[in-house]
Amino acid sequence: MKDIIDVELKTRTVDFSKCKTDILTVGLFSDTKELDKLNKELNKNLNGAIDQLMELGDFKGKDGTSAVVYGNGQTGAKRVLLVGLGEKKKATLDTIRNAAAHAAKKSVELKAKTMSLALHKAFGGRFDPTAMARVCGEGTYFGSYRYDEFITENDNGRLGSLKVELIDPDPAKLKKLKKGLSSGIAIGKAQSYARTLANRPANVVTPAELAAAAKEIARGSQRLSCTVFDEKQMTAKGMGGVLAVGSGSQNKPRFVILKYSPPGKAASNLPTVALVGKAITFDSGGISIKPSANMDEMKLDKSGGIAVLGAMKALAELAPPVNVFGIVPSAENMPSGTSYRPGDIINTFSGKTVEVQNTDAEGRMILCDAISYAVKQKCDIIIDIATLTGACVVALGKYMAGLMGNDDRLIKDLQKASQVCGEKVWPMPSSEEYAKEMKSKIADLKNIGSRWGGACTAAAFLGQFAGDTKWAHLDIAGVWSFEKATEFTSEGASAFGVRLLTTYVTGLKKKKK
Ligand code: BES
Ligand code: MN
Ligand code: ZN
């Protein structure tokens, strides 16, 4: 798959003022009285233009704002883009990531061919240069992303490519930046890839197409292999959950397994992690059909599965010493004469039976088979990610994913990874009380609970398929998309989870406990 905008990221040793570029990006805090060394130098070259902007109050260094100063032949740069970083003491790596994203978005809008980032200069020694370069890479991809592949009329208002460089006059500094940048590129590229796959509509991305995309990812890497089960193979294996959900659609379900093997031989001493993602290519609700308003958004119901594909793509580049399975059950949830119905009792892959009380609670029906599959593969850790419940959106809004699980260490590690990668999570319960609600009178389980705590009962349902295996669940129903463009990215799919899952796996300790 071709990138929508071809972004190239490099490092370059060059004096800030002499750097020939369409846009030179620097950061400014809102609460420092004096300009830092770099901004002083630029201000002098620009005849006090930065001072003037600040004095007039046109730019105050506030978070999410920026201003353009024209170089006028006085600097190597045609434009200097001042990006606000907010209050100095509140700044985190997130601040830098968002600033880089903001600059990249502006660069695309201004149709710049080249953009040079010197954001790291504002932070002195406060953050590790490797980490700063990584977030600059991630942010550059995130901010420059747009989804316009189906616009054929006229001009789409952008160039086809953008060349970005991290610059510094000190070669020793650049060496450190370069190291971090390569992971930033791997993660950023994978996330943009995932955003495109998620944004594609359900007539384009069917379960079979999604499986083809997984195969293509595996073809691109020696460390990945891909197996796909079709309906026949799923029937033979008894994956009744995925088959039931897929039964109403002409677009037949698939069960996708990507396997990542680390470099070196001792893979059996290393932990094995399963990343399990819900990939409903369209969720109409099935026979328990959804209201028609905004139903088009349900093309994004494959976002969990696609986050897993994106993470596997990034992991293949980053080559951490861990065994990883990416398990993506995929189906289209449609109403028809062949659909599964409310009242049906389904034999799932685990052997447990599930009474269907609502065909719109389909995510858990496909995930339960995938989680059981991961248990059967003897994975040490299972993390599932899914656009699972509207209840999670009610609880947490559009800023954070719900995080549940059965192991405190795993939850803590995911929270830590969340802080590093900037994809926010919030802990929620999925304890025994919730699990009890999922007991059926005529089967082992039913697929919906009471009116209350829907995100928690859904998680508690899934937890029963993990058994004693360490398991965590990410409900990304709220964070799957941006409803509107923001200062740092365009609207549409977010591919939330690519950074979180990748960061978690690359942060794992080598030895199996
Ligand atoms: N894919 C939806 C959840 C969803 C809702 C994602 C809104 C993003 C935004 C899921 O399959 C679903 O329909 N869940 C039902 C569960 C209910 C029937 C128990 C829900 O949340 O209403
Ligand atoms: Mn549903
Ligand atoms: Zn769904």
187 and 225 assigned to the same domain = no
In order of 320, 455, 458, the CA distances from 289 in angstroms are 43, 20, 19
In order of 306, 354, 374, 435, the CA distances from 410 in angstroms are 22, 28, 16, 20
What is residue 266's predicted lDDT score, i.e. its pLDDT? Answer: 72
Residue 446 lies in a domain: no
Residue 52 lies in a domain: yes
Q: Of 473, 379, 458, give the one whose Cα is nearest residue 426.
A: 473
152 and 33 assigned to the same domain = yes
What is residue 512's predicted lDDT score, i.e. its pLDDT? Answer: 65
Q: Which of 284, 358, 389 to mutate to test the pocket of ligand 1 (most atoms within 8 A of CB)?
A: 389
What is residue 422's predicted lDDT score, i.e. its pLDDT? Answer: 98
Expressed in angstroms and rounded, the spacing between residue 193 Cα and the centre of ligand 2 is 25
Domain range for 158 is 6-196
pLDDT digits (tens, 9 = 90+) for 466-499: 999 999 999 999 999 999 999 999 999 999 999 9
What is residue 423's predicted lDDT score, i.e. its pLDDT? Answer: 98
Give the ligand at the shortest distance from the Cα of 401.
1
Residue 178 lies in a domain: yes
CB 138 within 8 A of CB 182: no
Expressed in angstroms and rounded, the spacing between residue 389 Cα and the centre of ligand 1 is 4
Q: Is 381 exposed, middle or buried (0-12, 13-18, 19+ CB in 10 A)?
A: buried
Whether 446 is catalytic: no
CATH number at residue 397: 3.40.630.10
CATH number at residue 32: 3.40.220.10
Mean pLDDT of the residues in the chain: 97
Q: Is the CB of 138 under 6 A from ligand 1?
A: no
Task: List the strands of the sheet with 161-168, edge to edge.
Answer: 6-13, 161-168, 114-117, 21-28, 77-84, 66-70
Residue 426 lies in a domain: yes
CB 195 within 8 A of CB 494: yes
Residue 232 lies in a domain: yes
What is residue 156's predicted lDDT score, i.e. its pLDDT? Answer: 86
pLDDT digits (tens, 9 = 90+) for 52-61: 999 999 999 9
pLDDT digits (tens, 9 = 90+) for 392-413: 999 999 999 999 999 999 999 9
pLDDT digits (tens, 9 = 90+) for 187-220: 999 999 999 999 999 999 999 999 999 999 999 9
186 and 219 assigned to the same domain = no
Residue 204 lies in a domain: no
Side chain identity at residue 127, one-letter code? F
- Count of Cβ atoms closer than 10 Å to residue 161 Cβ: 12
User: Distance between CA 261 and CA 150 in Å, rounded?
Assistant: 36
Expressed in angstroms and rounded, the spacing between residue 259 Cα and the centre of ligand 2 is 28
Confidence of residue 513 (pLDDT cuts 50, 70, 90): low
What is residue 509's predicted lDDT score, i.e. its pLDDT? Answer: 82
Q: Is the CB of 477 under 6 A from ligand 1?
A: yes
Q: Which of 360, 364, 482 to mutate to test the pocket of ligand 1 (most atoms within 8 A of CB)?
A: 360
Domain boundary among 196, 228, 262: 196
pLDDT digits (tens, 9 = 90+) for 433-475: 999 999 999 999 999 999 999 999 999 999 999 999 999 999 9
CB 63 within 8 A of CB 488: no
CB 188 within 8 A of CB 143: no
In order of 247, 291, 345, the CA distances from 444 in angstroms are 22, 30, 10
186 and 218 assigned to the same domain = no
276 and 398 assigned to the same domain = yes
Q: Is the CB of 283 under 6 A from ligand 1?
A: yes
What's the pTM value of the predicted model, to 2 decimals? Answer: 0.98
Domain boundary among 144, 163, 196: 196
2-8: average pLDDT? 96
User: Distance between CA 57 and CA 257 in Å, rounded?
Assistant: 55
123 and 62 assigned to the same domain = yes
324 and 260 assigned to the same domain = yes
113 and 156 assigned to the same domain = yes
295 and 164 assigned to the same domain = no
Residue 123 lies in a domain: yes
267 and 144 assigned to the same domain = no
Side chain identity at residue 114, one-letter code? T
Residue 511 lies in a domain: no
> Could you tell me the sign of the dihedral formed by the alpha carbons of 441, 444, 448, 450, in that order?
positive
In order of 72, 87, 189, 281, the CA distances from 495 in angstroms are 40, 29, 11, 14
Whether 219 is catalytic: no
424 and 484 assigned to the same domain = yes
Q: Check whether 304 has a pLDDT greater than 80.
A: yes
Q: Check whether 265 has a pLDDT greater than 80.
A: no
Annotated catalytic residue, options 121, 134, 189, 364: 364
89 and 237 assigned to the same domain = no
Q: Check whether 149 has a pLDDT greater than 90.
A: yes
Tokens of 84: 């606000």
What is residue 135's predicted lDDT score, i.e. its pLDDT? Answer: 98
- Count of Cβ atoms closer than 10 Å to residue 451 Cβ: 7
Domain boundary among 155, 170, 196: 196
- Domains held by the chain: number: 2
